[in-house]
Structure 1
Amino acid sequence: MSIDAPIDESLSSVVEYDEISCEMCLQLNASLSFIAPLEAVLFDIDGTLCDSDPLHYYAFRDMLQEIGFNDGTPIDEEFFIDNISGKHNEELCSVLLPDWEFEKAMQFMVDKEALFRRLAAEQLEPISGLNNVCKWVEDLGLKRAAVTNAPKSNAELLISMLKLQDFFEVIVLAEECARPKPFPDPYLKALDALKVSPNHTFVFEDSVSGIKAANGAGMPAVGMATRNPEQMLRDAGASLVIKDYNDPKLWENLQEMLLQKLPL
């Protein structure tokens, strides 16, 4: 399901993205140690549940080349990571097509997303270990939501292909929020919908904008280094960076929380 209820004003005042304190930043960057007890886990979708970034890269590369972007030279993965990954389509209009009328630029993005969905329908794979972490969340009875900057059609396709329709209690789309990631609005909306505190919730994210959004909403983020460099995710504020859901670092943290009854 997707939600369109207004954000609880008391919750939205927990942390403002533009005014997050240095003290809070340091706390979030240090560890996940202040979560106790754990109530919920939030997930980004692209690059976090599934290795979809290469498909977005291929779609952008081919379509930008078709319109003569960069003098017709195909963009490389470094350009994609630095300028495209994790950004909302409205922002990408100004980043990639600043001289185009907005309506024309948005139609380009719509066409690109259609190409992405065709590629995803043929090639999409879950991040290794995803089923294990989903089972862990379910076994503990934790609340969970998917929170994404992706268009609704993309989110629905990916969640369906991953067979997670019954796993998520809530799906929050940035297009239903006042502001997308890197602002905290989508994550604040998820917290409000699940009726949980940011002090008892953490986030899985693979992008700089997503990590900043999670931190801005008062939650630590586990960075998924599926494609983006580990140091980039750490610099963005990730409390822990893992390669996939089988990473021993993740399970050491989770096991410590359960066995010692300590914060994650």
Structure 2
Amino acid sequence: MLNALLFDLDGTLTDTDQLHLLALQQLLLEEDDRVFTADEFEAHVSGQANANMCRYLFPHRSVAEHEAFADRKEVRFRQLSPQLTPMPGLVRLLDFAREQGIGMCVVTNAPRANAEHMLQVLGLRERFETVLVAEELPRAKPDPLPYLTGLERLNARADSSLAFEDSIPGLTAAVKAGIFTVGLATSQSRETLLAAGAHLVIEDFNDPLLWQQIERMLGARP
């Protein structure tokens, strides 16, 4: 059966990692004269909640200082992203899900302001009744709670759902929630995503392998 689609946001609905990296690079250089590399971003920041990011970047700073830096970073990100493009095939999938009566929600570690900004810029805000953000839940990805909450909101079961993720923390969360998880090779390699537990890896939402999986799950409907 297929009754629900749960989407990460950054790197999944739209490719934003380079903008997040640039925002961090600019701020760290301006404020600390610190050079921040793409490799460091991929290893320690991509897909993480801001609290984890700041603990890595500034282990000796206070929580208040972490929150202030995270706010500055997200403001910079929004300034750098006045225009965003949906991942190829995404609108096709959303249209199909709506026609089939399949529930959809966003599950993201991004703060609420970023999530609303990105969905609005993408023209997708009205597509999702539910947008779950980590800062409003007790635990963020890689904990499965965000995805378990998404299933609850959609009144769906894990074995009748698909999750879409591009990062290791997000992938870990969705897999732990028991959902068939599709990795998008935007921020990580196919091999890395498979090693982390992805059930399927695609380049974008037009991938025939994704549509074969959807047809298999739809064919199992009673």
- Do they fold alike, i.e. is TM over 0.5? yes
The equivalent of 2:100 in structure 1 is 140
TM-score, normalised to structure 2, is 0.94
Instruction: Tell me whether 1:103 sits opposite 2:64 in the alignment.
Output: yes
Other structure's SS at 2:152 match = helix
Other structure's SS at 1:226 match = coil
Match of 1:236 among 196, 199, 206: 196
Q: Which amino acid aligns with 1:82?
A: A
* Structure 1 CA distance for aligned equivalents of residues 124 and 200 of structure 2: 24
* Structure 2 CA distance for aligned equivalents of residues 243 and 81 of structure 1: 18
Matches for 1:184-195 after TM superposition, within 5 Å: 184-195=144-155
Please state how far the C-alpha of 1:152 moved relative to its aligned partner.
0.4
Matches for 1:143-222 after TM superposition, within 5 Å: 143-222=103-182
Please state how far the C-alpha of 1:229 moved relative to its aligned partner.
1.4
Please state how far the C-alpha of 1:120 moved relative to its aligned partner.
1.1
Please state how far the C-alpha of 1:227 moved relative to its aligned partner.
2.1
Q: How many correspondences in the alignment?
A: 221
Q: Percent identity?
A: 39
The equivalent of 1:94 in structure 2 is 55
Other structure's SS at 1:64 match = helix
Deviations 1:70-126 (A, max 9, x none): xx3x322221111110000111121111121221122111000000001111x4221
Match of 1:223 among 161, 164, 183: 183
* Structure 1 CA distance for aligned equivalents of residues 66 and 132 of structure 2: 24
TM-score, normalised to structure 1, is 0.80
Structure whose alpha-carbon radius of gyration is higher: 1
Other structure's SS at 1:166 match = helix
Q: Alignment RMSD, CA only?
A: 1.5
Greater relative contact order (CA < 8 Å, ≥ 6 in sequence)? 1
Greater shift, 148-157 or 231-240, is seen at: 231-240
For structure 2, list consecutive stretches of 5 or more residues without a partner in the other structure.
none
The equivalent of 2:7 in structure 1 is 43
The equivalent of 2:26 in structure 1 is 62
